[in-house]
Amino acid sequence: MKNKYIIPVLLLVMGTFFGIIGFASYIKGLIVGGIYFLVAVGEIAPRINMYNVITHRQKTGYQFMNNFLITLSVHRNISDTYEIIEKQFSGELAQWMQNLEGVMVHEKISQLANYFQIDIYPLFIDFLQVYEHEGGEVLQMAEYLLTSIRQNTAQLTSYDALYGRKMMEFILLWLMTFAILLTTRFSLGAMYQTMLTSLTFQILLGCLFLLFISALVILMRVMFRKHNFQGDKQYGKMGAKIKKSWFQRKKD
Amino acid sequence: MEKWEQKLRNLGFNAKKIKLTFLLLFLIFTISSILLMMRHLWGLAGGVFALNFIIVLGFYYYVRQVKEQYARKKEEEFANVFAYFRIYIRHGRNIYQALQLCQVHTSYTLRPLLENLLSSMDHDSSIRPFIDFAQHFDNSLIEEVMIAIFQMIDAGRDSRYLWHFNFLFSKYDAVIAEEKYRQKTKLLERINLSAMVGAGILVVNLAIGIMQLIGGVMHGI
């Protein structure tokens, strides 16, 4: 939740500071900062926040499936296994589960798909159904599922690392660009002030500030895609599938 | 129906909507450029008319992107659906039953292909339906996976073939995951280039400003 306020304020300060220096005008600097702040509040902070929530839920989901399968291989009963695992639920998940009080165990396990938002969760449910009807050796039957869980957890970590690395690169490269602006502003002095009287100069400077915020929004969109949290009104329906454009037919 | 129209339809586009939009835009830009020409604004008129070509090129690029996205989605879905297939086989279903059960997990991209495969299997027991199915994908590993599935029909539930299929499928799964990661890295790198473009804009801006100043000074002399 902290990100919700930290990033917009940081962008407001940054935009205002470089805007004032670039345009040599407090009003224009505040306009740049204000635009950055609004974009951060409306687009950037919610995406980062949602990404944190999603990855946390997915990691919890993989852990849940893994623990469930291992415990099931010992207890050989789905309800008993669920009761054991349920005791380990904490934080947001425990709170979320309060909505499902009084619901049957199998239904609770199915409903958890809406919370975890994991692609392979339906496979897990299918596996439990097959196991209940036909029995068998859990660890042997779930070999593929357990491998997938391991692979997906590793993938989540590697994507986290990639995003962190690329975000750092983005910040450093743009800081260098703004550093060029800063040095030219102070080294050229009066000459820079004269250049500022030209409309073309101001428009191109505006394009620079616009490019930064557009690139940041695109970066956020690529990194942190919005997900469809079914049954979770807090996040609304954003659609995790490929979004169809105006040119494309609406029916599937 | 024209070939290009059919291609667009296959990608989920509404060809009629596209035609109408382009016609409308063409008319708007052409009329605007004629009006500008009448006012002797030749440069601006040429620029507005050129927008027609820019839009067509832009749309061509957009369709290419959608096509790639569609192919990628189809492959990703194949990987997901055949993960179910593997579980159904492991649980003792035969190939036909497993494929039938897999249909539940498909969307509009893969469902028609799977339905086709099943109906072809009803009256053709050769490898043909499996090859035909694989031909809808660009990835040659899918063909290998489909051949392995056919071999499983041929050899019953021989564990060697099941192992072969599992091996191929795991390899395919890994390739897909790697490709996805590579694509994402490439995209992020491209976005990070924006800082270079920003630096370029700044340098060009300064160059123009300095040139204007020099020009002003010389004009003053």
Nearest to A123 among B83, B181, B210 (CB): B83
Distance from chain centroid for Cα B146: 22
**Residue pair A66/A125 in contact by the 8 Å Cβ criterion:** no
Chain B positions in Cβ-Cβ contact with residue A177 (cut-off 8 Å): 195, 198-199, 202
CB contact under 8 A, B199 and A120: no
Please enumerate in sequence order all residues whose Cβ is within 8 A of that of A194, keeping only pairs 6 or more positions apart, or say none. B213
Distance from B47 to chain A by nearest Cα, in Å? 19
What is residue A252's predicted lDDT score, i.e. its pLDDT? 41
User: Which of A146 and B167 is assigned the larger pLDDT?
Assistant: A146
| Dihedral angle computed from the Cα positions of residues A204, A207, A211 and A214, in that order, rounded to the nearest 10 degrees | 180
A198 φ/ψ sector (left φ>0, alpha ψ -120 to 50, else beta): beta
* B13 phi/psi in degrees, rounded to 5: -85, 155
Q: Tokens at residue A201, please?
A: 């100069």
**Residue pair A19/A209 in contact by the 8 Å Cβ criterion:** yes
What is d(CA B68, CA B209) in angstroms, rounded to the nearest whole number? 43
What is residue A242's predicted lDDT score, i.e. its pLDDT? 40
Q: With 0-12 CB in 10 A as exposed, 13-18 as middle and 19+ as buried, what is B93?
A: middle
DSSP H or E run through B6: helix B3-10
Mutation for A interface: B111, B173, B194, most A CBs within 10 A: B194
Q: With 0-12 CB in 10 A as exposed, 13-18 as middle and 19+ as buried, what is B167?
A: exposed
Q: Tokens at residue A116, please?
A: 């975890």
Q: Tokens at residue B19, please?
A: 């035609």
Residues of chain A predicted below pLDDT 70: 1-3, 226-252
Asked if residue B221 has pLDDT above 60, the reply is no
**Residue pair A22/A209 in contact by the 8 Å Cβ criterion:** yes
CB contact under 8 A, A127 and B87: yes
Q: How far is CA B145 from CA A68, B131, B140, in A?
A: 31, 10, 9
Is the minimum CB–CB distance between B90 and chain A shorter than 8 Å? yes
Q: How far is CA B143 from CA A17, A70, A137, B221, in A?
A: 58, 35, 32, 77
**DSSP letter for each residue of B154-178:** HTTT-HHHHHHHHHHHHHHHHHHHH
User: Which of B88 and A146 is assigned the larger pLDDT?
Assistant: A146
Chain B positions in Cβ-Cβ contact with residue A141 (cut-off 8 Å): 90-91
Report the mean per-residue pLDDT for chain B.
81
Give the number of beta-carbon pairs within 8 Å between A and B: 131
pLDDT band at B197 (very low <50, low <70, confident <90, very high): very high
Q: Name residue A248's beta-bridge partners.
A: B13
Please enumerate in sequence order all residues whose Cβ is within 8 A of that of B8, keeping only pairs 6 or more positions apart, or say none. B15, B18, B63
Q: How far is CA A44 from CA A157, A214, B139, in A?
A: 22, 11, 36
Q: How far is CA B153 from CA A111, A245, B120, B125, B161, in A?
A: 36, 42, 15, 9, 9
